[in-house]
Amino acid sequence: MARGPTRRSLVAAVGAAAAIGAGYHFLGNWTMNRMRNRRSIPDLTAPPRAPVAARRPVTIRHHGIEVIDDYAWLRTARWRDVLVDPSVLESEIQAHLEAENKYAELVLRPQTALRRKIAREVEARAADEEASLPDPDGPWLYFTQQPDDADHEQLCRQPRTGGPTTVLLDGNREARGAAFYDLADTIHSPDHNLLAYAVDRSGSERYTLYVRNLETGETLSTIEDSSGDFAWALDSQTLFYVRIDADNRPLEVWRHRVGSPQSDDELVHRESNAAYDLTVDRTQSGRFIRIVSDHHLSTEVWLVDAAAPGSAPMRVAPRTGGHAYTVEHFGDRLVVLTNWGDAEDKRICLGPIAPDAQESWKVLVAGRAGHRIKDMVVLARYCVRLEETDAGPEIIAKSWSDGSEHPVELDPDMHAVELETGHEFDTDMIRITQSSMAVPERIYEYDLALREAALRRSASAGRGFRSSRYVTHRLSVPSSDGELVPVTLLHRVDLTLDGSAPLLLEGYGAYGDGLETSFEAARLSLVDRGFVYAMAHVRGGNEKGDRWYAAGRHHGKPQSIRDYIAVADYLAAAGYTKRGRIVAYGESAGGLLVAAALNLAPDLFLGVIADVPFVDALNTLLDPGLALTPGEWPEFGNPLASKEDFELIRSYSPYENVRSASYPPVLAVASLTDQRVTYWEPAKWIARLRERSTSGNPMLLVTQQHGGHGGPSSRTDKTDVLARAYAFAVSLADTVVT
């Protein structure tokens, strides 16, 4: 797991809140724009008053070092209860968050028309999306569909030979009356008679697992406190699932018999190290239930015979520091994608179905430097791998019968590639999805035996969209140490790159997760208004292999921040934009990245959009009681155990490093029931920014009352959140609004 109330009046919540003159300047620009466009009478009312959080200094001491936290009181002592029921939040904290929401609403009110227009654009570009392609399994074709006016999907099936469609699960009906509804997964039983599905109704990622009889509609089992991970045994009566503890940690796998009470369930496997997370699924062959214990640097996999669900788990290979591997099955062997030995960019091995038999693994596909094996699909007659290189992605298919290999032809201009499989193992068909930032996705079905591809879907982005209007390309930008950082750009083909264009710069740089350069139609609402959309693939991601991740984690984290600043400086110097015209954008750990860069170079940025940002890193990593903290220590360091780590994290943690400086406007978004980045992180950060900024620019916090780390659950609400962020960016840039 990685990073990712009752309404009260503003007057009652804020008390003697002070007005901020910068907010008036910020609003004044928008007011003048409206006057120019509409020739309206100036609005001479006073600017809205910003909430002022009380300063109640708390001193923490570690390794002989003192750090003062003025806003520690914003952290609820009842966070476990709040995840389940936000109404139990302490009234004083609740009042402050409500005041922040009200203030943000008032400041952003001049953007309402623009926000609605962008939301309509996003919805229109998504309106042409069809149902998912049918996924065959035995006698049935399974697929999802989402009616135009619906916020949630329907799971459907129809006979493989043709016939009427049956709706197995209607998300809109299930979500009726719920403020939040997240369907984690749906898996039908091997005999196709039952459906298991997991639902979160709070946003806290604490799921209830249901088993439904597809013939009668009867709910046969209800299982509480699931992580949302589960898998069927071959008997269609036994379900394996991950149970979370009181701290929301997924540390146990249990076995459930359909129709029996949860109290009769049996513990299958328990993880004793809170730094690891458990997941459960099934190998593509269906032969094994796969239990994976994982943290960011190492994994340990256990297998249970899916035909003998009562049998004990077998460990594939013991955990060792730095060894990450995944396991599939073929015939009488295991197929292992691993970085074992010197395979920095992974290799594929074959091993016996035996416990701890790592020393017997034989290399099937040798690792090659610069050819990172990103994904592997194992089918009855082929092993298919997706590799990433500097030249672009490659898909290679290897025949089990004779060991021969052949490459799958890909469009060289579409570097975002996904390799997909369906339910079946005994098939020669795979699906390949390709897109770029300027070209919507195209889905191909590829026959591995015939070596033929058929285009099954070419997505659109609404009427009038033409890819030829846009250009996307990749740069290599020198960082502070001379290392070249990849940057992906999207802009209109007719845009004059003379430095005048505003630019949104997205970054992440953590957990070995790279920024995907696939097509996102919503970005066009910025690009069509004259923005350059840029992605900085800083160290800490995986864009240049595992070494790129290693260079940006733990001691390398400050380098990922320097990478981001170097990219911003370069893009300004090269004429894509200029200093002070860059809107920084980061989500979760990407919020840490952009907030830390903001502290170092506030004059670079026109504004900052930080979505559920991990900005209180030092205090969070000092709190082992929080759900994710032990698992974060391998990524960032353990400031409890190490003075060196304490000083390192303190040196860049955004909250600790807010200083007296002229900061640009900031929009931060939090979710009250987010367990990955708790609401008080951005709440404290905004309070400190507002206190110390000398510019007087507005510091805005929006706390979603119903939503988790991914925000609200409905399509309509998600669109509105995105539209608010884009309207904020456009209004900052003072571009022509049409």
Q: What is the DSSP string of 476-510?
A: EEE-TTSPEEEEEEEEETT---SS-S-EEEEE--B
- In residues, how long is the chain? 738
What average pLDDT does the segment 128-145 reach? Answer: 87
Position 611 in a domain: yes
Q: Collapsing DSSP states into helix, strand and coil, what is residue 39? A: coil
Strand segments (E) across 411-483: 416-420, 429-435, 442-447, 452-458, 470-478
CATH of the domain at 643: 3.40.50.1820
In terms of Cα–Cα distance, which of 698, 701, 616, 699 is closest to 657?
616
Same structural domain, 712 and 578: yes
Q: What pLDDT sits at residue 715?
A: 85
DSSP label of 495: -
Residue 361 to residue 367: CA distance in whole angstroms: 14
413 or 563, which is more confident? 563
Place of tokens 């670079």: 604
List C-alpha distances in Å: 331 to 285, 350, 655. 9, 11, 54
Same structural domain, 357 and 374: no
What average pLDDT does the segment 245-256 reach? Answer: 94
**pTM: predicted TM-score of the whole model, two decimal places:** 0.91
Q: What pLDDT sits at residue 242?
A: 98
Choosing from 349, 369, 389, the residue where a domain stops is 369
Within 10 angstroms of residue 710's Cβ, the number of other Cβ atoms is: 18
Within 10 angstroms of residue 266's Cβ, the number of other Cβ atoms is: 11
In terms of Cα–Cα distance, which of 547, 554, 538, 543 is closest to 485?
538
Q: What pLDDT sits at residue 469?
A: 96
Same structural domain, 596 and 512: yes
In terms of Cα–Cα distance, which of 11, 10, 44 is closest to 27?
44
For the chain, give me the number of helices (H) and strands (E)? 15, 37
CATH of the domain at 166: 2.130.10.120
Q: Give tens-digit pLDDT for 422-448.
A: 999 999 999 999 999 999 999 999 999
Beta bridge partners of 294: 277, 299
Residue 568 to residue 531: CA distance in whole angstroms: 14
Burial pattern 536-555, b for ≥16 Cβ within 10 A else e, equals: bbbbbbbbbbbebbbbbbbe
Position 5 in a domain: no
Q: What pLDDT sits at residue 127?
A: 58
Within 10 angstroms of residue 403's Cβ, the number of other Cβ atoms is: 9
What is the Cα gyration radius of the chain?
26
Q: What pLDDT sits at residue 355?
A: 98
Same structural domain, 384 and 472: no
> Is the pLDDT score of 376 beyond 90?
yes
Alpha carbon 714 to its chain centroid, in Å, reads 16
Tokens representing 387 are 């590799």
State the chain's maximal CA–CA distance in angstroms. 81
Residue 149 one-letter amino acid: D
Q: Per-residue confidence at 229, pLDDT binned at 50, 70, 90?
A: very high
Q: What pLDDT sits at residue 46?
A: 62
36 or 642, which is more confident? 642
The continuous run of DSSP H or E covering 212 comes out as strand 207-213
Q: What residues have CB less than 8 Å from 304, skipping those under 6 apart? A: 240, 268, 288, 289, 291, 311, 312, 313, 314
Same structural domain, 172 and 295: yes
Same structural domain, 567 and 688: yes
Within 10 angstroms of residue 458's Cβ, the number of other Cβ atoms is: 11
Same structural domain, 682 and 698: yes
Position 489 in a domain: yes
Q: What pLDDT sits at residue 461?
A: 83
What average pLDDT does the segment 301-328 reach? Answer: 96
Q: Collapsing DSSP states into helix, strand and coil, what is residue 589? A: helix
In terms of Cα–Cα distance, which of 534, 480, 477 is closest to 504?
534
Beta bridge partners of 536: 487, 507
> Is the pLDDT score of 466 beyond 50?
yes
Position 82 in a domain: yes
Q: What pLDDT sits at residue 5?
A: 29
Q: What pLDDT sits at residue 138?
A: 95
In terms of Cα–Cα distance, which of 201, 210, 278 is closest to 239?
210
Q: Is 566 exposed, middle or buried (0-12, 13-18, 19+ CB in 10 A)?
A: buried
Same structural domain, 472 and 452: no
Q: What pLDDT sits at residue 43?
A: 42
Q: Give tens-digit pLDDT for 318-346.
A: 999 889 999 999 999 999 999 998 898 99
Residue 456 to residue 442: CA distance in whole angstroms: 8
Same structural domain, 327 and 376: no
Q: Collapsing DSSP states into helix, strand and coil, what is residue 556? A: helix
Same structural domain, 453 and 505: no
Q: Per-residue confidence at 130, pLDDT binned at 50, 70, 90?
A: low
> Is the pLDDT score of 99 beyond 70?
yes
305 or 9, which is more confident? 305
Residue 330 to residue 353: CA distance in whole angstroms: 10
Same structural domain, 482 and 494: yes
605-611 and 582-587 as β-strands: parallel, antiparallel, unpaired? parallel
Residue 567 one-letter amino acid: V
Burial pattern 356-366, b for ≥16 Cβ within 10 A else e, equals: eebeebeebbe
Percent of the chain with pLDDT over 90: 82
> Is the pLDDT score of 393 beyond 80?
yes
Q: What pLDDT sits at residue 238?
A: 98
Tokens representing 384 are 């298919």
Q: What pLDDT sits at residue 3?
A: 53
Domain count, the chain: 3
Position 217 in a domain: yes
What average pLDDT does the segment 692-699 reach? Answer: 96
Q: What pLDDT sits at residue 481?
A: 97
Mean pLDDT of the chain: 91
Choosing from 343, 369, 395, the residue where a domain stops is 369
In this structure, are residues 705 and 619 in contact, taking their beta carbons and an 8 Å threshold?
Answer: no
In this structure, are residues 200 and 178 in contact, taking their beta carbons and an 8 Å threshold?
Answer: no
Supply angle C-alpha 200, 205, 208, rounded to 5. Answer: 40
Same structural domain, 406 and 508: no
* Helices 112-126 + 715-733 axis angle, to 10: 130
Position 1 in a domain: no
Q: Taking the CA atoms of 479, 485, 488 and 493 in sequence, report the sign of the dihedral they define.
A: positive
Q: What pLDDT sits at residue 2?
A: 60
> Is the pLDDT score of 460 beyond 60?
yes
Residue 542 to residue 545: CA distance in whole angstroms: 5
In this structure, are residues 379 and 284 in contact, taking their beta carbons and an 8 Å threshold?
Answer: yes
Beta bridge partners of 452: 447
Tokens representing 5 are 């109330």
List C-alpha distances in Å: 356 to 122, 250, 313, 359, 676. 51, 24, 12, 8, 33
> Is the pLDDT score of 568 beyond 60?
yes
Q: What pLDDT sits at residue 9?
A: 26
The range of the structural domain enclosing residue 104 comes to 10-123+466-733
Q: Collapsing DSSP states into helix, strand and coil, what is residue 596? A: helix
List C-alpha distances in Å: 719 to 115, 441, 620, 724. 10, 20, 30, 9
What average pLDDT does the segment 155-161 reach? Answer: 96
In this structure, are residues 488 and 534 in contact, taking their beta carbons and an 8 Å threshold?
Answer: yes
What average pLDDT does the segment 635-647 reach? Answer: 97
666-671 and 699-704 as β-strands: parallel, antiparallel, unpaired? parallel
In terms of Cα–Cα distance, which of 57, 74, 53, 50 is closest to 666?
50
Position 711 in a domain: yes
Position 738 in a domain: no
DSSP label of 67: E
> Is the pLDDT score of 546 beyond 90?
no
Beta bridge partners of 546: none
> Is the pLDDT score of 410 beyond 60?
yes
Choosing from 351, 369, 387, the residue where a domain stops is 369
- Label each residue of 360-412 as H, E or C: HCEEEECCECCEEEEEEEECCCEEEEEEEECCEEEEEEEECCCCCEEEECCCC
Q: Collapsing DSSP states into helix, strand and coil, what is residue 268? A: strand
Q: Collapsing DSSP states into helix, strand and coil, what is residue 113? A: helix
Q: What residues have CB less than 8 Å from 28, skipping those under 6 apart? A: none
491 or 45, which is more confident? 491
In terms of Cα–Cα distance, which of 522, 606, 697, 693 is closest to 123?
522
